[in-house]
Amino acid sequence: MGIALRFLGRLFFVILFVGAGIQKIQTPEKPALYFGTQYKIFHQWVQTTQVFKQASEVVSPHIQQHIPLIKQYTSPEFLLDHSNLIITYIGYTQLFTSALIILGVPLAGFILYLFTISTIVFIHNPFANPTNFHQEFMNCVINLAIAGIALFIASDIRPKVNITEQAEVKKAQKEKVEASAPKKPSQAASVSKSAEKKRK
């Protein structure tokens, strides 16, 4: 019963990601435009927040030499130019991880957890979009709930027993039952005869 309930729970959970993944693959333009708009808001917030400015000044020299390249690949313009491709890859990732979750692979739950947390940070960050704070806050809460379920699935790791081990366990149990069962008279006589022969 517990196995069936866990399977149904995983199945109902991935319906959301399967639908979103199919939409992203078939029509990536609309999600890509939304992604580009929301990421641009997040990027502006990072650029104007004093904490992030100070953090970029105290990084190690080894990282500082790569900052121009990091800025290039994380700029809204670069991501917007490649947004259709990014959204399509996200769609395939959602479908693939959904299939793995249905099959009971815990790692897939952790992947969806990371994806959902990234969505909160870059897309539905209420602090980055104060004009729509209430709406983004509700989106953030919903995604946190989804991330919690994904993390719960990721933690559902159960030891798997292979077929050989199962056969050995069953054989040992059968031998234990046979040893504890009362012997028939014929069996008892044969046992006593064999014992007498051993004594002689």
Tens of pLDDT, residues 67-108: 788 888 888 899 889 999 999 999 999 999 999 999 888 899
Q: Of 198 and 118, which is predicted with more confidence? A: 118
Would you give the end-to-end CA distance of the chain in angstroms?
A: 58
pTM higher than 0.95 for the full model? Answer: no
pLDDT of residue 23: 94
Mean of pLDDT over the chain = 82
Burial label for 68, CB within 10 Å (0-12, 13-18, 19+), is exposed
Tens of pLDDT, residues 6-52: 888 889 999 999 999 999 999 999 999 999 999 999 999 888 887 77
Calculate the CA 55 to chain-centre distance: 30
Based on C-alpha coordinates, what's the Rg of the chain? 30
Domain extents in the chain: 2-154, 163-199
Mean pLDDT of 178-190: 58
Q: In whole angstroms, what is the distance from residue 192 CA to residue 177 CA?
A: 21
Mean pLDDT of 157-169: 54
Q: Is the pLDDT of residue 57 over 70?
A: no
Q: In whole angstroms, what is the distance from residue 121 CA to residue 124 CA?
A: 6
DSSP state of 66: T
